[in-house]
Structure 1
Amino acid sequence: MKLKSRLAAYGITLNVLALGFVSFFTDVSTEMMLAALPAFFLALGITPTVIGFIEGLAETSTSLIRVVSGEFSDRVRRYKALTFAGYFLSSVVKPLLAFASLWFHVLAIRVADRVGKGIRTPPRDAIISFSASGERMGRAFGIHRTLDQLGGIVGPIIAAVLLPFIGFYNLFLLTAIPGALALFVLYKWVTEPRIPPPSKKTSHLKEAWNSPGVRLYLASVAFYSFSAFSYVFFIYRLHDATKLSIIFAPAIYTIIQVAHTASAFPAGEFSDRYGRIPSVAVGYLLAALSYILAVVTDLLPILLVATVLYGAHKGFLETTQRAVIPDLVPKEHRGAAYGLYNTAVGVAALPSNLLAGFLYTIYGSWAPLTLGTAFLLAAMTPLIRVQKRLSP
């Protein structure tokens, strides 16, 4: 009770904190894997075009699942159970990368991992939104994102330290340990929110889709998602520009994750103070600036600044984009709304990454970042219209 009282004084709940630690341990596991992937891809001889296909299909494969998971969680009101199922699937499949020797092995494991993410994300975000007051929604998502991304720092550091000594096989097997810890915290300390059943039988997806401003907001999210191709292409740009060995990829990825983590909590506070939509706009501008800097120079200090901005934009957007949903959609439809939101994020992943891989192969590493900047500017137009609708 003392812990709950202390958390309440800061405007957060045990559910928010516990889910933050669930994401922390899961991200340690995931980022140990992701930090090693650029070098692993090269070791397997996988081309940039195939990388784009793998990463794009891995994200896009979750789109329909996210919609179904969100709608189903609103219908059965079993948000915790669905969240647990998604985390369980991801925790089980990631260590199997240790046995991958061909590109389609990697594809199958990455798709299964992202399916788990698709199952868990809408009900998990709904639990966070139910567990936070309206005026502290940004803080709740900021705390969750910060803990999530702390795992995103620890994971790459572990990979960078251990990979030269134990190799890919053992590193991927070790991802099972933090995955198991995440499941334990979720089972032990996250409680099912008490949400009354709907007063009438309805399609939660339809109600969420028809909420004022939702479609415009999802259009903005989709445009952004077309710009948000795999981090691998950003790291390859730095590799091409500076001629740094690809063995430094985990170190560069760690810089991205540190900036991501450092920006998440301030993003939530900024969102609570200055508004949800302006906060999302800041994230778009940070992303565009990082892309532009990475394209126009080959100077390492400036490219490191671009790397920090790239990470910071992710912290801003992964906190503030989710915090917008409660302002647009009633509580009883939020699971479905987060399903739609996550689908807008995921549906662009395959074409975005395929296009990035194609442009990289034909024109070079600058081309995907240039196109990404154009999509970021396109994302601003519907976002401005949403802000006008929300303004009194």
Structure 2
Amino acid sequence: MILAEGEIMKIPKKFFPIFLLGITSFITDLSSEMMMPLIPLFIVSLGGGGLVVGLAGGMGDSVASLLKVFSGYISDRVGKKKWLVMCGYTLSAFAKLIFPFAHSGYDVVGARVLERVGKGIRTAPRDALVAGYTEEGERGKGFGIHRAMDTLGAVMGSFLAFVFLWVFLMDMRDVFLIGAIISFFSIIPLYFVKEIKTEKIKSKLFEGVAGLSAELKKFILVASIFALGNFSYMFFILRASIEFEDGIATVVLLYILFNISYAIFCVPAGSLSDRIGRRNSLLVGYIAFAITCLLFSLSISKLSLIPLFAMYGLSFAFIETVERAFASDLCRRFERGTGLGAFHTSVGLCAFPASMIAGFLWEYSSYHATFLWGAGCSIVASLLLVSLVRE
């Protein structure tokens, strides 16, 4: 038996299973974020351009997203979630071992796709577990706790990347290898996570998706339109690198700031959505993202990047936390895996065109056009959220 809940973290006993899932996410993101801020810079160092960066940022998430609805459906079909979660985290850990040995931008794209496939397998059943451990009135807080721990790992990971690059003067490949090794430790806490058994659904996949509530379908439509403009973080990194040429460590520090802001606001965002409603809270996130993109599209100073990356983190905290809680609320308990899978798949499939459009605009027009596209999609999604979706 592991330590009592109160000895590990001062959180309510009912949230302890979410805490265990959070530890796994913490370690995984610590590993991932040692690599992620370096990937666009690594691709450029290997001779890749904006389109290859767009491929790396969007293709992996889109391919993985095709699996999310299937993994969610399978978890509902068999009435168990945990085994799929473990498979997903394990595959991602092995995929990360490819990054240190990449020799071209397209090698990086391939490794990124395989790593995201692991994410595609685990995400819907894991979110179904998080939703299953909480009541509706506290679900926003539950997702906020999980997202906060996930993002704390990201803060630590990107900070370690900075230390390895700036203090120890390591090569990016060495940082990738260390991150890959760390990722295998994320599997251990999952052994202590209690399975939630649900009624096995008997419908076929497409029947299950078709049977989802009308409100959930409208919400998925709105979230997908937003996702078309929610291009990869890699473009924010590239934007900062324009101002800090040959300053990889400084760019990583800005990425750390983004993750700190993200981590700080996750739980407040979730708790706020429990009090004032999911729609109102999500609207805050969408509008904050639109303003952030508009400001990034301007000719800005180095100093102004500090509040902009903090604002980027705030917007993501609201969007990532509240969207998941909102989608969970709109699902019936026995179809939560399928419903969350459909949500993640639709949103994720939009990641590929989002990043490809962003990459095309960046390479053949300018970074101004890339960020204006993101702002425009966010404004449209905000209007549709208010007019179409009810709680």
* Smaller-chain TM-score bracket: over 0.9
Corresponding residue of 2:40: 38
Among 175, 184, 191, the alignment partner of 1:180 is: 184
Structure 1 residues 207 and 2: CA distance shift in structure 2, 3 A: same
Structure 1 residues 325 and 206: CA distance shift in structure 2, 3 A: farther
Letter in structure 2 aligned against 1:46? G
Corresponding residue of 2:355: 353
Corresponding residue of 2:24: 22
Letter in structure 1 aligned against 2:105? W
For residues 318-329 of structure 1, what are the structure 2 equivalents within 5 Å? 318-329=320-331
**CA-CA distance at 1:166 after TM superposition:** 2.3
For residues 155 and 36 of structure 1, what CA distance do their matches in structure 2 show? 11
The answer for unaligned runs of 5 or more in structure 2 is none
Among 164, 172, 175, the alignment partner of 1:171 is: 175
Contact in 1 for aligned 2:282/2:319 (Cα 8 Å):
yes
Contact in 2 for aligned 1:95/1:174 (Cα 8 Å):
no
Corresponding residue of 1:195: 198
Alignment size in residue pairs: 386
For residues 83-94 of structure 1, what are the structure 2 equivalents within 5 Å? 83-94=85-96
Deviates more, 1:281-290 or 1:39-48: 39-48
For residues 211-230 of structure 1, what are the structure 2 equivalents within 5 Å? 211-230=213-232
For residues 141 and 205 of structure 2, what CA distance do their matches in structure 1 show? 26
Corresponding residue of 2:275: 273
**CA-CA distance at 1:307 after TM superposition:** 1.3
Deviates more, 1:207-216 or 1:229-238: 207-216
Contact in 1 for aligned 2:62/2:352 (Cα 8 Å):
yes
Structure 1 residues 375 and 335: CA distance shift in structure 2, 3 A: same
Structure 1 residues 205 and 182: CA distance shift in structure 2, 3 A: farther
SS of residue paired to 1:193: coil
SS of residue paired to 1:332: helix
Tell me the TM-score normalised to structure 2 length.
Answer: 0.93
Among 335, 340, 343, the alignment partner of 1:341 is: 343
For residues 47-196 of structure 1, what are the structure 2 equivalents within 5 Å? 47-164=49-166, 165-187=169-191, 189-196=192-199
Matched, 1:250 2:252: yes
**CA-CA distance at 1:138 after TM superposition:** 0.5
**CA-CA distance at 1:220 after TM superposition:** 1.0
Structure 1 residues 33 and 243: CA distance shift in structure 2, 3 A: closer
For residues 170 and 246 of structure 1, what CA distance do their matches in structure 2 show? 15
Contact in 2 for aligned 1:33/1:94 (Cα 8 Å):
no
For residues 377 and 11 of structure 1, what CA distance do their matches in structure 2 show? 40
**CA-CA distance at 1:362 after TM superposition:** 1.7
1:348-391 Cα deviation digits (max 9, x unpaired): 1111111111111122211110011110011123311344x33x
SS of residue paired to 1:62: helix
For residues 207 and 4 of structure 1, what CA distance do their matches in structure 2 show? 40
Percent identity between matched residues is 32
Structure 1 residues 87 and 244: CA distance shift in structure 2, 3 A: same
Structure 1 residues 211 and 235: CA distance shift in structure 2, 3 A: same
For residues 242 and 54 of structure 1, what CA distance do their matches in structure 2 show? 22
SS of residue paired to 2:195: coil
SS of residue paired to 1:175: helix
Letter in structure 1 aligned against 2:194? T
For residues 269 and 262 of structure 2, what CA distance do their matches in structure 1 show? 10
For residues 175 and 9 of structure 1, what CA distance do their matches in structure 2 show? 29
The answer for unaligned runs of 5 or more in structure 1 is none
For residues 232-243 of structure 1, what are the structure 2 equivalents within 5 Å? 232-241=234-243
Tell me the TM-score normalised to structure 1 length.
Answer: 0.93
